[in-house]
């Protein structure tokens, strides 16, 4: 007992001495980011031409793979608008002679996860499984890719669900703002300005044969890239994949003819009326940069300071200093072609004009006053947070799928940390002046017009156009 008491006293004394030498008046300094070396993929091609990127990662006996069909909602040809959405929604409703319930039961029994997702330039079929159950789970994965049944009764149900989803959007001001902002930046004729759910709903005459035609044309080896990671040797995985997908038809790669979007000439305000809304949903922005732009990393650092993190200027102003909203952020969204720059916040109705004033103040000041300390903190924030994306096999696959989807070079992974650390104060100031021009940005506001119009008009942001909900999004009927 005496020994324990003496030991505790010794620890307390040591802690007191240690604490006495610590300066608690300042936060601890952030250390220099350690060099992170990401996993290198093993790249190979199956006998039918299907390209594969595999990241060998042991430690936890898991496998994750995503097949990217390089035809998404923005790649649809004239006459096929909305078809990619319907294919993606019905793909897992029956495959290989199994019903959707039978598929779900088998996946649950194996402790796996099988899902289908639609994006602008891809339909993704993904599998997460233990190594022990990979073979039976991957058979279900193959059937979704190569042998979907597209049951007629499920197609009708999906169309009804999409119609109900479309109707619910009119009641969500934030979704209205996001959709209408895209329309204002790109134009409703551009694939990035279209509402894909509405396009799918409007296809009343879509048949099972239409889905099968789309599947036959696009679900082919030449139009597919498979990204995988997990605890398996590359040669073993290649052999399993060859047996699994080697008979997928070769086919041809689908071409994506994305039209070039035109930049806004000058600032305009678009006010969508949502009577009685407790909040105003604000979206400010315009066309940003291409995915392979030379300023990608300086823009990344600059945006982190402006609105890309919790401690960014925009969030500290709108949330912490003024309490106008739960949060505010800015993003340069990476897309094929030019993605948008967007500043977003959902603010209390009675401070709509005040919040807009502060947001534009931050957009102006980012090119006028930036400090070395802010640049250093932004660099470290990005560099130190980067490796966390690769902790899991799912994270590894997701990151590289996003690179491929947005047209970014795969080399970006290896060069990321070093490129971020090379960004200087001068770089940040330069790209802020070149790529953040508030006077040209489109302003979308979804809120109660009667309550906010007078205050917004007083800011003199530019010509204002008013819309009712169905003017902004189109009629609710099919």
Domain of 435, CATH number, reads 3.30.830.10
More confident residue, 30 or 121: 121
Q: How confident is the model at residue 298 (pLDDT cuts 50, 70, 90)?
A: very high
User: Is 332 part of any domain?
Assistant: yes
Structure tokens at 108: 């649950």
Q: Return the number of other C-beta atoms located less than 10 Å from residue 310's C-beta.
A: 11
Pair 92, 240 in one domain = yes
Partnered with residue 119 across adjacent β-strands are: 122
Please answer whether residues 342 and 330 qualify as being in contact, where contact means their C-beta atoms are separated by less than 8 angstroms: yes
User: Is 14 part of any domain?
Assistant: no
Which residues form the domain of 404?
Answer: 268-473
Q: Residue 17: its pLDDT value, please?
A: 47
User: Is 9 part of any domain?
Assistant: no
Please answer whether residues 451 and 350 qualify as being in contact, where contact means their C-beta atoms are separated by less than 8 angstroms: yes
The mean pLDDT value for 116-141 works out to 97
Return the minimum-mean-pLDDT range out of 13-27, 81-95, 143-157, 160-174: 13-27
Pair 397, 274 in one domain = yes
Sign of the C-alpha dihedral, residues 272, 273, 279, 280?
positive
82-100 residue pLDDT tens: 999 999 999 999 999 999 9
Q: In the chain, pLDDT over 90 holds for what percent of residues?
A: 84
Structure tokens at 248: 């997928």
Predicted TM-score (pTM) of the model is 0.88
Number of domains observed in the structure of the chain = 2
DSSP summary character for residue 148: B
CA pair distance 224, 71, nearest whole angstrom = 9
Q: Is the pLDDT of residue 57 over 80?
A: yes
Q: Is the pLDDT of residue 35 over 80?
A: no
User: Is 37 part of any domain?
Assistant: no
Q: Is the pLDDT of residue 477 over 90?
A: no
Count of CA atoms in the C-beta half-sphere (13 A) of 234 = 13
Pair 78, 223 in one domain = yes
CA triple 400-404-407, angle to 5 deg: 135
The mean pLDDT value for 119-129 works out to 96
Count of CA atoms in the C-beta half-sphere (13 A) of 367 = 13
User: Is 21 part of any domain?
Assistant: no
Helix (H, G, I), strand (E, B) or coil at 226: strand
Unique residue bearing structure tokens 């923005």: 74
User: Is 258 part of any domain?
Assistant: no
**What kind and span of H or E run contains 169?**
helix 152-169
Q: Residue 478: its pLDDT value, please?
A: 67
Pair 355, 275 in one domain = yes
388-399 residue pLDDT tens: 999 999 999 999
Q: Residue 31: its pLDDT value, please?
A: 61
CA pair distance 116, 107, nearest whole angstrom = 14
Q: Is the pLDDT of residue 8 over 60?
A: no
């Amino acid at each position: 007992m005496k020994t324990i008491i003496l030991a505790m006293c010794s620890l307390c004394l040591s802690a007191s001495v240690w604490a006495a030498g610590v300066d608690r008046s300042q936060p601890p300094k952030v250390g220099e980011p350690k060099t992170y070396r990401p996993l290198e993929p093993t790249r190979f091609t199956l006998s039918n031409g299907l390209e594969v990127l595999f990241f060998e990662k042991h430690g936890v006996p898991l496998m994750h793979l995503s097949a990217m069909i390089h035809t998404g909602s923005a790649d649809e040809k004239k006459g096929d608008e909305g078809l990619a959405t319907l294919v993606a929604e019905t793909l897992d409703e029956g495959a290989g002679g199994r019903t959707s319930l039978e598929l779900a039961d088998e996946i649950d029994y194996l402790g796996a996860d099988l899902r289908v997702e639609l994006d602008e330039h891809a339909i993704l079929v993904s599998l997460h499984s233990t190594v022990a159950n990979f073979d039976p789970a991957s058979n279900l994965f193959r059937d979704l890719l190569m042998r979907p049944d597209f049951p007629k009764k499920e197609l009708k149900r999906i169309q009804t669900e999409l119609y109900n989803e479309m109707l619910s959007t009119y009641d969500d001001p934030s979704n209205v703002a996001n959709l209408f902002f895209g329309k204002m930046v790109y134009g409703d004729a551009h694939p990035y300005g279209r509402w894909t759910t509405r396009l799918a709903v409007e296809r009343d005459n879509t048949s099972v044969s239409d889905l099968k035609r789309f599947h036959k044309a696009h679900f082919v080896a030449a139009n597919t890239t498979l990204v995988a990671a997990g605890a398996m040797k590359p040669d073993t995985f290649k052999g399993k994949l060859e047996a699994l997908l080697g008979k997928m038809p070769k086919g041809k790669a689908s071409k994506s003819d994305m039209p070039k979007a035109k930049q806004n000439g000058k600032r305009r305000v678009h006010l969508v009326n949502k009577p009685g809304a407790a909040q105003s949903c604000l979206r400010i922005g315009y066309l940003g940069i291409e995915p392979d732009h030379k300023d990608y990393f300086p823009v990344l650092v600059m945006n982190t300071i402006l609105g890309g993190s919790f401690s960014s200027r925009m969030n500290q102003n709108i949330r912490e200093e003024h309490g106008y909203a739960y949060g505010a952020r800015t993003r340069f969204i990476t897309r094929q072609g030019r993605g948008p720059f967007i500043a977003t916040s959902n603010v209390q109705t009675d401070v709509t004009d005040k919040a807009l004033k502060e947001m534009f103040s931050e957009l102006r000041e980012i090119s006028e006053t930036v400090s070395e300390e802010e640049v250093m903190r932004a660099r470290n924030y990005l560099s130190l947070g980067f490796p966390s994306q690769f902790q899991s096999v799912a994270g590894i696959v997701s990151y590289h799928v996003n690179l491929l989807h947005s047209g970014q070079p795969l080399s970006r992974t290896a060069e990321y940390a070093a490129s971020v650390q090379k960004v200087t104060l001068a770089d940040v100031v330069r790209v802020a002046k070149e790529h953040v021009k508030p006077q040209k940005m489109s302003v979308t506001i979804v809120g109660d017009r009667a309550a906010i119009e007078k205050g917004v008009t007083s800011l003199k942001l530019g010509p204002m156009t008013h819309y009712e909900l169905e003017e902004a999004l189109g009629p609710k009927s099919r």
